[in-house]
Structure 1
Amino acid sequence: MATQGTPSVPMGEADEEARPAVPRPWRMRGLLSSFAGRSEAFLEGAQFDRGPWLAVAFAAGIGLWFYLGAPWQWLATIGGAAAAAAMAFARWRGSDARAYLMPAIVSVLIALALGMSLVWARSAMVGAEPLAYPRFERIDGRILEREEQPAEDRVRLVLAARDAATGQAVAYRVNLPLARDRPGLREGARVRLSARLMPPSPPIVPGAYNFARRAWFEGLSATGSVVGEVELVTPPPQSRLTVASIQRRLSAHVRSRLDGTAGAIAATLASGDRGAIPERDEEAMRDAGLTHLLSISGLHVSAIIAASYIVVLKLFALWPWLALRVRLPLVAAGAAALAGIAYTLLTGAQVPTVRSCIGALLVLVALALGREPLSLRMVAIAAGVVLALWPESLVGPSFQMSFAAVIAIVSLHSVQAVRDFLAPREQSGLRRFLRRTAILFLTGLVIELALMPIVLFHFHRAGVYGAAANLVAIPLVTFISMPLVALALALDLIGAGAPVWWLVGQSLDLLLGIAHLFAEQPGSVKLAPRIGMGAITLYLVGALWLALWQGRACLWGLGPVMVAAILMMQAPVPDILITRDGRDIGVANEAERLLVLRASEGGYAQENLLELAGTDRQPLAIAEWPHSRCSAEFCSLTVTRESRAWSLLIARSRDLVEERALAAACRNADIVIADRFLPRSCRPRWLKADRRFLEREGGVAVYLSARRIDTVAQDQGEHGWWRAPEDRRAPRDQ
């Protein structure tokens, strides 16, 4: 009963009033502490390994630098990561209860900041200012590199020279017709020549290959072609023996012993020189999912190192005195390491080769120390070394595909069910062979699934039957072709290699037959339009989560991967594609073929338009389409999207048109496209993509249903390889 004179209060309200108020900051701190505790328990239960995630964070910092466009954004990211790391360290310093979480947060944030800082510094140090405008120039320079490309009927030279306008040291890459090549045009020679030079090309349309970015990090200011004869001013040093010269001699020797495409592939396996492989056969290898066999990487380096290890170990074991006094595995590991390094240098030291060599050396060290040779930590170390040396390689397909394949292999073979399936047991030889064949096919399938989104993102086409093709091709190359090439080269020292070269030719002809067989099957190639950065990032996050976590926690990665797959399958095809010069235009989703302004067969621009339109059918000229009207100067056509008719007016020539008539035509059009400057009186209802617009924005992709316009300039930001329009124009007095 309530006391008289005291108001009656419900029990819940009385308790609430009696409880002292808790300040909101302390409540928030309690929530954060509870979240941190749960995170700590999760990391401990999942057996969190910080090493691989440090490499991921380091790579994420590099990737963010390429994605973000302005220096203030880079500074904000680096400063924010450093500040957050300092706060996390101060908050949990000395707390044993945060043995996993605090070091993980601090180290990951520091790795991210280091990655962004490193690639920014490298860009500033090695980036070469691109040529301001196309021009014809007389060059007096020294040859730095020489690359022979007989399949293209040319030789590619990299020259060190002085810019004619500024006097600064520059590097130019020029193509010399094979008919004008001379024996003295080698590294170190001084030459004089005339060349048509162009600034390194940015993407021709959004989603296309960005050569300007690659040229920036390679130090190239311009590319071009030689006009006329080359004057040899100073011959190259006679006694100079370089890796490049050895590579060329070895490639030429192999091709002299074996003709045709088989000889070109054998030269690739021996020296890394792919310049003699015909385009048709290279496309077949690509569409069959076998291109990796032409790019010296893990398969080749591993085969060389493994063969060297076994041969040295077996030979030294025949010498009892040495076998009793020296640890032969250490000697064999050292010899194999030297063989792997020599092969890596000989084949050009490309990113996949360096990665493979580093990984193989780590395997040898692990074997020598009695540690687990195949682990994700080993892959992380190799990735960290490659990115520390060449951070720009992160955004290239070579690095991404190489490490994606290795991570997929290591992760698959770390699954307990796979380990149990491969565990030694008493069984017949046939069953053991079938078991290993099954796991080889499963490995190939997992690799194909891991690589397909990356391949589609970069190349917009991927082979579908790669797992089946690799099931035969990988053992063929690893255990037959490569050993035969090595044996043939060894026997050539005594002039007895001819029979073995015949066997090499037969094995490589079989490889080509496999490539053409799978590439020519119906549905062998998957085509895709431009895949958005969001979709590929979501896929990479999910795939890395699947690969790097232990136990059931890894299954959470399936969600992002599935969402990314849906986004990729639903990626829209651009309705209109316009190249940066306005001379090549594609209208997709009409007549089940791509409509193009110029019907000339092949060509770099047309290939890009077809790839980004997601079709391999022969394009149709707009002038030949029944629903278009064309004159000598313009074509007009109407396309319909979601019950909305869009009127297009496209210039066909640069002939002058009466301004009033042009203005009237522009008023009746939604979109006007021209490769020349149009007068201000030309005012279409939505988009005017003339030369002025294209110089500022670059190539264009138009999505009519979404009323969206994507341009190349939107993805470039303030990076050095993308120049402001006024910097790209020629001086007015020229």
Structure 2
Amino acid sequence: MNERSRLAPWLAVALGAGVLAYFALPGEPPAAVIWVAPPMVLLAVWLGLRRPMAGWALGLAAAGLAGFASATWHAGRQAPALDVPRTATIVTGRVLTVELLAEGRRVTLAEARFDGGAMEERTIRIRLKRQDAAAPAPGDRLRVRALLRAPVGPSVPGGFDFQRASWFSGLGASGYALGPAEVSPGLAPPPAFAALRADIEARVAAAVPGAAGAVASALLTGGQTAIAPDDLAAMRDSGLAHLLSVSGLHIAIVMGITFTGLRWMLALLPWAALRLPVKALAALLALGAGGFYLLLSGSQVPMQRSVAMAVLTTAALLAGRRALTLRGLAMAAAAVLLLQPAAILGASFQMSFAAVLALIAGWEWLRPHVPVAGTGADWRRRLLLAGFGLVMTSILAGAATTPFGLHHFGRLQVYGVLANAIAVPVTTMLVMPAGMVAALLMPLGLERLALVPMGWGVEAILAIAHWVAGWPGAAMSAVPIPGWGLGLCTFGLIWLCLWRTGWRLFGLPFLLVGLASASLDRRPDLLVSGDGRLIGVHAGATLFTQRLSGASAMTRENWQRLYAVTETEALPREGALAQGSVQCTAGACRISLGDTIPAAVVLRGDSPREGCASAAVVVSAEPIRGPCLAQVVDRFAVWRDGPHAIWLRPDGVRVVSDRAFRGDRPWVPPVPLPRGMASAAPPAAVE
């Protein structure tokens, strides 16, 4: 079969590669690159009209440059980082959103001011006190005394970069209130969808209290903050977490019900059925319902992809063409990347597009081999084919998203196919239809009639999730595959899905090597957190930690995920661990992984003199003063350059700091300066 029709989607792949190239840089590229991309794209279009293959080849380079330029432009247009006060401050601002948490309300403020100073361009997120009686709504003005901090960096070099995510989302600081909040009505009208979202959440909570209400709110408005941690864990471990994230499944249900219902209603009216294009009109109104749902649920990346696909599907339906195609998916991906290039780094974008890519390509391959249920087929045949389709959908989507789940979360959901086979029909036939009816009844105040049945369906889904998550081995921890392994998996999946002929199988070796990359990638032997309060030593199959007061529990959990361990062991006061590779005394622990491998010393009270003379690297939660022949990772080093990772290898010691890994990027804070000092250089040696 001719493969030339499959060339166009590779332009979207090149666009994404260009975006990734930008984020892989150690520093910012010159702004002039933004102006080079448009003429190159035009040149590729001009050449493609005359010599299609040459134009496509040039188009790959032009698309890559366009993705690079788009990411550069979006990064450069963001508001500057905030100078967050180091002490408690009075924060005033306009309420954008209100989220319900177990610990109390959390508000996001725009037009914020610190102690009556200048208006800040970035948003501020503050968790109000649990007992605070204030009930702010979107659009209100809020004043509260709070303790804030800037977005935190990765917990390990190469880990999830919340500072980068905050840079592109516009978040400037977050914190918690120290006193009651003062709320006053705002002068400007509240954001339309934020106010509507808050009203829907309040109505759902009133009609469906408890865990079911929190999940029902998430399905209608996209906010998951009110869901209890144990319910989130059960949904995740059972493979049903995707049901909580408003995505393609939900919008397909909304648009499908809208389309079918409107077409049926119009067909019942003889005047409309004879004079109006019923199918086209129903399709356009269903698209409008999908767009409304997108705005109501917060315009998350899976929804953006789904709405972009819905637009193309509607256009194809009106033109009498096939609705779901790889070209349509590629156009949707390109639209998201041009509008939000940083989305490509997130699990949501990656898993959403990977699942749909596998479903479209898999259906293309399966369609000639699957019998069709004709109009005269009995119910048993129809039920069998529907069950086969549901199982194959779960298998294809689950297999396509497995590498991304391993990279981001380090977990495998073993029984996800079975759980989805039970829970997805409940979502499709009861939960989402009832939610749509509830939304239509809200203006009349009758939403409870539909919300209560919706709550029954949600309770059934939660019961399925807890049931499946409780099975032996339901969710297994696995060593996360590294970034280069995920890149191989992604390329292999794309190659396998975009081509039709036998050479598509050349993608399988890339997939296999990518999945095996975790066993080929050596993890650090020592880790030091950004505040020095947590030091990790990986020896054998165990992660040993030294924890000081105030050490971050989240950092420890991220380290456990990195090493695929469920628990850590404390470094003992004295004794030998891991077959003698870790020797601890009251004042220090010595790590020696072999006779030919350099040793490391973790100080905890001893003088650094002996460690500096006998080890290749010395780690300390306190500053090390004086000359040291070994590499030093102490309190001052992590304060200046963030968390450190250390590898002990026969060819020497490798020490990588977070600052060295990320480079000089707009979202990476500058080297901090000690008070009263003009330089961040280490303190002078004390003889």
TM-score by length of 1: 0.83
CA distance in 2, matches of 1:269, 1:543: 30
Q: Note the 1:332-343 alignment, pairs <5 A.
A: 332-343=282-293
The aligned amino acid for 1:222 is A
CA distance in 2, matches of 1:528, 1:164: 47
Do the aligned residues in 2 keep the contact of 1:535 with 1:567 (CA within 8 Å)?
yes
Q: Note the 1:323-334 alignment, pairs <5 A.
A: 323-334=273-284
CA distance in 2, matches of 1:252, 1:667: 65
CA distance in 1, matches of 2:359, 2:455: 30
Residue in structure 2 matched with residue 151 of structure 1 by the alignment: 102
Do the aligned residues in 1 keep the contact of 2:82 with 2:122 (CA within 8 Å)?
no
Q: Once the two structures are superposed, what CA deviation does each residue of 1:9-61 show, in whole Å capped at 9, x if it has no partner?
A: xxxxxxxxxxxxxxxxxxxxxxxxxxxxxxxxxxx942343331111111111
Pairwise CA distance, 1:288: 1.6
Match of 1:671 among 611, 617, 642: 617
Match of 1:289 among 236, 239, 251: 239
Residue in structure 2 matched with residue 629 of structure 1 by the alignment: 584
CA distance in 2, matches of 1:437, 1:94: 45
Q: Note the 1:89-238 alignment, pairs <5 A.
A: 99-131=51-83, 135-162=86-113, 167=118, 169-179=120-130, 181=132, 183=134, 185-232=136-183, 234-237=184-187
CA distance in 2, matches of 1:222, 1:383: 30
The aligned amino acid for 1:629 is C
Q: Alpha carbon RMSD of aligned pairs, Å? A: 3.2
**Compared with structure 1, are the counterparts of its residues 261 and 338 closer, same or farther at alpha carbon in structure 2 (3 Å cutoff)?**
same
Pairwise CA distance, 1:485: 2.6
Match of 2:626 among 680, 683, 693: 680
Pairwise CA distance, 1:258: 0.9
**Compared with structure 1, are the counterparts of its residues 497 and 673 closer, same or farther at alpha carbon in structure 2 (3 Å cutoff)?**
same
CA distance in 2, matches of 1:648, 1:142: 49
**SS in structure 1 at match of 2:180:** strand
Do the aligned residues in 2 keep the contact of 1:60 with 1:112 (CA within 8 Å)?
yes
Match of 1:64 among 14, 21, 24: 21
Do the aligned residues in 2 keep the contact of 1:150 with 1:178 (CA within 8 Å)?
no
Q: Note the 1:128-527 alignment, pairs <5 A.
A: 128-131=80-83, 135-162=86-113, 167=118, 169-179=120-130, 181=132, 183=134, 185-232=136-183, 234-237=184-187, 240=190, 242-415=192-365, 417-424=366-373, 428-490=378-440, 498=448, 500-527=450-477
TM-score by length of 2: 0.89
1:598 partnered with 2:553: no
**SS in structure 2 at match of 1:69:** coil
Pairwise CA distance, 1:85: 10
**SS in structure 1 at match of 2:599:** strand
**Compared with structure 1, are the counterparts of its residues 508 and 187 closer, same or farther at alpha carbon in structure 2 (3 Å cutoff)?**
closer
Pairwise CA distance, 1:166: 9.3
Q: Once the two structures are superposed, what CA deviation does each residue of 1:518-564 show, in whole Å capped at 9, x if it has no partner?
A: 22333322433453322111111111111111211211211211221
Do the aligned residues in 2 keep the contact of 1:196 with 1:225 (CA within 8 Å)?
yes
The aligned amino acid for 2:107 is R
1:555 partnered with 2:515: no
Do the aligned residues in 2 keep the contact of 1:65 with 1:119 (CA within 8 Å)?
yes
CA distance in 2, matches of 1:46, 1:360: 26
CA distance in 2, matches of 1:385, 1:546: 23
1:718 partnered with 2:668: no
Pairwise CA distance, 1:719: 1.3
Taking only the aligned residue pairs, the percentage that are identical comes to 29
* Number of residue pairs the alignment of both structures matches: 668
The aligned amino acid for 2:589 is S
CA distance in 2, matches of 1:671, 1:429: 71
CA distance in 2, matches of 1:496, 1:137: 45
Match of 1:703 among 642, 647, 659: 647
The aligned amino acid for 2:461 is L
**SS in structure 2 at match of 1:523:** coil
The aligned amino acid for 1:106 is L
Pairwise CA distance, 1:604: 0.9
Residue in structure 2 matched with residue 39 of structure 1 by the alignment: none
The aligned amino acid for 1:306 is G
Do the aligned residues in 2 keep the contact of 1:579 with 1:700 (CA within 8 Å)?
yes
Do the aligned residues in 1 keep the contact of 2:434 with 2:451 (CA within 8 Å)?
yes
Residue in structure 1 matched with residue 681 of structure 2 by the alignment: none
**Compared with structure 1, are the counterparts of its residues 556 and 412 closer, same or farther at alpha carbon in structure 2 (3 Å cutoff)?**
same
CA distance in 2, matches of 1:307, 1:642: 68
Pairwise CA distance, 1:79: 6.8
Q: Once the two structures are superposed, what CA deviation does each residue of 1:557-606 show, in whole Å capped at 9, x if it has no partner?
A: 1121122122134333332222111111222234x432111298982111
CA distance in 2, matches of 1:78, 1:680: 51
The aligned amino acid for 1:117 is A
The aligned amino acid for 2:647 is Y
1:648 partnered with 2:605: no
User: Which ranges of structure 1 fall in alignment gaps of 5 or more residues?
Assistant: 1-43
Residue in structure 2 matched with residue 536 of structure 1 by the alignment: 486
CA distance in 2, matches of 1:492, 1:162: 36
**Compared with structure 1, are the counterparts of its residues 100 and 485 closer, same or farther at alpha carbon in structure 2 (3 Å cutoff)?**
same
**SS in structure 2 at match of 1:136:** coil
The aligned amino acid for 1:47 is R
The aligned amino acid for 1:444 is S
The aligned amino acid for 1:612 is L
Pairwise CA distance, 1:720: 0.3
Match of 1:545 among 495, 511, 518: 495
**Compared with structure 1, are the counterparts of its residues 214 and 589 closer, same or farther at alpha carbon in structure 2 (3 Å cutoff)?**
same
CA distance in 2, matches of 1:338, 1:377: 23
**Compared with structure 1, are the counterparts of its residues 699 and 78 closer, same or farther at alpha carbon in structure 2 (3 Å cutoff)?**
farther
**SS in structure 2 at match of 1:135:** coil
My pick for the range that moved more, 691-700 or 420-429, is 420-429
**Compared with structure 1, are the counterparts of its residues 149 and 676 closer, same or farther at alpha carbon in structure 2 (3 Å cutoff)?**
farther
Q: Note the 1:42-81 alignment, pairs <5 A.
A: 45-72=2-29
Pairwise CA distance, 1:66: 0.3
Do the aligned residues in 2 keep the contact of 1:184 with 1:236 (CA within 8 Å)?
no
Q: Once the two structures are superposed, what CA deviation does each residue of 1:464-501 show, in whole Å capped at 9, x if it has no partner?
A: 32222212221211112111233345456666665654
Pairwise CA distance, 1:143: 2.0
**Compared with structure 1, are the counterparts of its residues 419 and 136 closer, same or farther at alpha carbon in structure 2 (3 Å cutoff)?**
farther
User: Which ranges of structure 2 fall in alignment gaps of 5 or more residues?
Assistant: 577-582, 679-687
**Greater C-alpha Rg:** 1
Match of 1:690 among 634, 650, 672: 634
Pairwise CA distance, 1:298: 0.4
The aligned amino acid for 1:463 is Q
Do the aligned residues in 1 keep the contact of 2:37 with 2:66 (CA within 8 Å)?
no
Q: Once the two structures are superposed, what CA deviation does each residue of 1:602-633 show, in whole Å capped at 9, x if it has no partner?
A: 821111111111111x22211267425353xx
Do the aligned residues in 2 keep the contact of 1:60 with 1:115 (CA within 8 Å)?
yes
**SS in structure 1 at match of 2:275:** coil
CA distance in 1, matches of 2:543, 2:438: 49
CA distance in 2, matches of 1:430, 1:341: 37
Do the aligned residues in 2 keep the contact of 1:529 with 1:573 (CA within 8 Å)?
no
CA distance in 2, matches of 1:708, 1:718: 20
**Compared with structure 1, are the counterparts of its residues 335 and 511 closer, same or farther at alpha carbon in structure 2 (3 Å cutoff)?**
same
**SS in structure 2 at match of 1:380:** helix
CA distance in 2, matches of 1:210, 1:112: 24
**SS in structure 2 at match of 1:197:** strand
The aligned amino acid for 1:583 is R
CA distance in 1, matches of 2:611, 2:495: 55
CA distance in 1, matches of 2:332, 2:503: 25
My pick for the range that moved more, 373-382 or 360-369, is 360-369
The aligned amino acid for 2:148 is L
**Compared with structure 1, are the counterparts of its residues 69 and 409 closer, same or farther at alpha carbon in structure 2 (3 Å cutoff)?**
same
**Compared with structure 1, are the counterparts of its residues 376 and 181 closer, same or farther at alpha carbon in structure 2 (3 Å cutoff)?**
farther
Pairwise CA distance, 1:688: 1.5
Do the aligned residues in 2 keep the contact of 1:81 with 1:109 (CA within 8 Å)?
no
